Amino acid sequence: MTETAVADDHALAAELAGAAGRLLLGVRDEVGFADARALKDTGDLRAHEYLMAALVERCPGDAVLSEEGRSSVAGKRARGADRAPTRNTADAERLTAGRVWIVDPLDGTREFSEEGRRDWAVHVALWERLPGGGGRLAAGAVALPAQGLILRTAATGGALLVRDDPGEPLLTATGRDLPREVPLHAPAPEAGKLRVAVSRTRPPEFVRVLAGKLDLDVELVPIGSAGAKISAVLLGEVDAYVHAGGQYEWDSAAPAAVALAAGAHASRVDGAPLAYNREDPRLPDILVCHPVSASTLLTGIRDVGGALPE
């Protein structure tokens, strides 16, 4: 821990994800939905700038890897964004840092720009170097601002589901009133059935092939945002998220941290552990599910290996 680090990184991750999420709800109100490009760009930039400034202030000794600090924002600046974004920590620094915040200020940017959609998220994760080499996800939070929810890791171990809208009564997908904060456990699937979350806009073909091969009643459920899909697994709205063909560390770090803390299986599609803060931030595939489904899915994915995207 750096000297200035807060005692509870888990609470900080949730606080920042929640605040960025509320800021994004305000951007939706302010900019409106008529110009989707303007709404996406403003949301990306404002959430990124907020998180970078907050992390510099609260954890000045830590490094940051943010989606929007990379080339995408440089491109937006070139197109005339009015405020210069704060930059990521230089790669050389983050690759030797003890603690690196891996953030996706707005995951599911497309869905954020579509009126009425609730499947977009803010991801804040903390990666920590281990003394023996390598590292681990030490904390994480996924805010689902349009759903009034935060899914987060807890200092005591495990994961929590937090209602981030104390003023409003809120019903979960299962129709039950949700108290302010409840332990979050990945629920097991119904026997013989498997609901698999896939991208709304670019579902990988191999998941359809996989669905056809499994000896289960498989339903593919299109949802936007990696964080919203992994949250849907943890909330019992689907049973698995299978993705391959491209993604980056910020797309999965925070939701994977929460999923693992909630007792879910989270790995590469070949079963290898998810590894973060690498030189190349590409992390192109992921499987998240209840542990009882993991071997069926990993075997199924291996058997349709030929259909996996490059």
- Residue set of the binding site for Mg(2+): 67, 104, 106-107, 251
Does 43 sit near ligand A3P (CB under 6 A)? no
**Of 144, 106, 98, 126, nearest in space to 2 by CA:** 98
Residue 98 CB, nearest approach to ligand A3P (Å): 26
Per CB under 6 A, which of residues 164..203 are in contact with ligand A3P?
Answer: 199-202
> CB of residue 225 vs Mg ion: minimum separation in angstroms?
7
CA 231, CA 240: separation in Å to the nearest integer?
10
Strands lying side by side in the sheet with 181-184: 63-66, 99-107, 121-129, 135-144, 149-153, 159-163, 181-184
Q: Which is nearer to ligand A3P, 160 or 210 (CB)?
A: 210
The count of chain residues that interact with ligand A3P, using the rule CB under 6 A, is 16
Give the angle subtended at the CA of 258 by the CAs of 22 and 124, to the nearest 5°: 40
Q: Write the binding mask 187 to 206 for Mg ion: x where contact by CB under 5 A, - elsewhere.
A: --------------------
Binding partner selected for residue 49 from ligand A3P, Mg ion, none, CB under the kind-specific 5 to 8 Å limit? none
Dihedral sign from CA coordinates of 93, 283, 128, 257: positive
Our finding on whether 216 is near ligand A3P (CB under 6 A) is no
Structure tokens at 273: 């552990």
Residue length, the chain?
310
Measured from the CB atom, is 76 or 163 closer to ligand A3P? 76
Q: Does residue 255 interact with ligand A3P by CB under 6 A?
A: no
Report residue 238 CA to chain centroid gap: 16
End-to-end CA distance of the chain: 39
Amino acid at 229: K
Helix (H) / strand (E) element for 17: namely: helix 9-31
Q: How many residues make contact with Mg ion (CB under 5 A)?
A: 3
Give the footprint of ligand A3P on residues 103-132 (CB under 6 A). Answer: 104, 107-109
Shortest distance in whole angstroms from residue 157 CB to ligand A3P: 28
List interacting residues with ligand A3P (CB under 6 A): 67, 104, 107-109, 199-202, 224-226, 245-247, 251
List interacting residues with Mg ion (CB under 5 A): 104, 107, 251
